[in-house]
Amino acid sequence: MVDFALSENIVAPTRAAALRRFGRSDARFRVFTLAAALLVVAIFIGIMIALIQGSWLALSTFGLGFLTSSVWNPVTEKFGALPAIYGTVVTSALAMLVAVPVGIGIAIFLTELCPRPLKRPIGTAIELLAGIPSIIYGIWGFFIFAPYFQQHIQPGIIDALANIPVLQDLFEGPPYGIGMFTASLILSIMILPFISAVTRDVFETVPPMLKEAAYGIGSTTWEVMWRIVLPFARSGVVGGAMLALGRALGETMAVTFVIGNAHHINESLFAPATTISASIANEFTEALGDLYVSSLIALGLILFGITFIVLAAAQLMLRGMERRSGGKSL
């Protein structure tokens, strides 16, 4: 009894102190997280301001013509972004065209069809693929893939399609090995792991009940994937694809190696082209003259804009999909 009274006397003030202490630490924690969040906003605004300031000279000199001109002449200081925008959009779109079906295919195989002993090695290989620095892809593409492609595959494709309308224009020209097609292919390999890793993770969150019920009423594997798993996981799949697209749009080193770096718009996919980030990486160090530097920064601003538009479109698309399905999604 005596003991109890004693301890209560001691404990009461201790508890109050502890509560105060916890309160203080919580407040500190709140301030810290708030600061971290605000830091992101500040960095974002800072980058925007720096980009707009840096590109102001180019934008005020060329106006909207900067977006539509395909001249890129450092000697006469006439700059237009169209070839770089075209190269960026086309290579990224082609890369997505290849990587999305393959990536989702890998995820389906891993979650539904893969024999258990293979699951872990293949999954690890895909995650490792995501960790390879982009310059390695560039070097591999330039020294291994491009020469092989040039000597053994490209001439065949060019000859085979030589008399087919449209296709002959898309695949014509001297076989350089490098060019838009090669860049797109390397990009698709680079972004594949993002799509398949994210997609696999969301597929694994699909409740087994749903799938088993579908199998129970006689669905085929295809029907289960197409009608149950994909609709359930679609926001995650779109998210993974957008992450991949973001990487494809901004990828610099690997693309610089294999795209051929020519400021021309050519309808042939085998022709050399350039992208926004490749142009900046190539030309920034030795860019002499304010207008040249400013034009390169303006290219950066445009890339920022493209990425923003893509992300916003993805958000809108997701929202639309959720509304149609009554908001039952992840």
Partner 1 sequence: MKPILNRLIGLAVGTAAGLLVTAASAADISGAGATFPYPIYAKWAEAYKAKTGIGLNYQSIGSGGGIAQIKAKTVDFGASDKPLSPGELDAAGLTQFPTVIGGVVPVVNIAGVQPGQIVLSGGVLADIFMGKVKNWNDGEIKALNPSVNLPNQAIAVVHRSDGSGTSFIFTDYLSKKSPGWASNVGAATAVEWPTGVGAKGNEGVAGNVKQTSGSIGYVEYAYAKQNKLTYVRMINKAGKAVEPTADAFQAAAANADWAHAPGFYVVLTDQANPAAWPIAGATFILVYKQPADASRTKEVLTFFKWAYASGGSLAESLDYVPLPASTVQAVDKSWHTNISAAAVP
Q: Which residues bind partner 1 (CB under 8 A)?
A: 50, 53-57, 71-76, 142-143, 146-147, 150, 174, 176-179, 256-257, 260-263, 272, 274, 278, 281-288, 290, 293-294, 297
Structure tokens, 262:
């020519």
Nearer to partner 1, 22 or 143 (CB): 143
Q: How far is CA 4 from each of CA 8, 9, 12, 52, 218, rounded to the nearest angstrom?
A: 6, 9, 12, 70, 68
Dist. CA 306–CA 286, nearest whole Å: 26
Token match 């090695």: residue? 121
Nearer to partner 1, 23 or 174 (CB): 174
Nearer to partner 1, 175 or 240 (CB): 175
CB 110 within 8 A of CB 122: yes
Q: How far is the CB of 280 from partner 1 (least distance, A)?
A: 11
Q: How far is the CB of 185 from partner 1 (least distance, A)?
A: 16
Nearer to partner 1, 251 or 283 (CB): 283
* Positive/negative CA dihedral, 206, 207, 212, 213: negative
Q: How far is the CB of 309 from partner 1 (least distance, A)?
A: 24
Q: How far is the CB of 131 from partner 1 (least distance, A)?
A: 24
Q: Which residues pair with 73 in a beta bridge?
A: 78
Nearer to partner 1, 244 or 302 (CB): 302
Nearer to partner 1, 57 or 243 (CB): 57
Q: How far is the CB of 68 from partner 1 (least distance, A)?
A: 17
For 234, list phi and psi in degrees, rounded to 5: -65, -35
Nearer to partner 1, 55 or 92 (CB): 55
Residues contacting 192, CB < 8 A, separation 6+: 99, 102, 103, 106, 126, 129, 244
Q: How far is CA 14 from each of CA 11, 93, 281, rounded to the nearest angstrom?
A: 5, 64, 61
CB 150 within 8 A of CB 177: yes
Q: How far is the CB of 219 from partner 1 (least distance, A)?
A: 51
Q: How far is the CB of 294 from partner 1 (least distance, A)?
A: 7
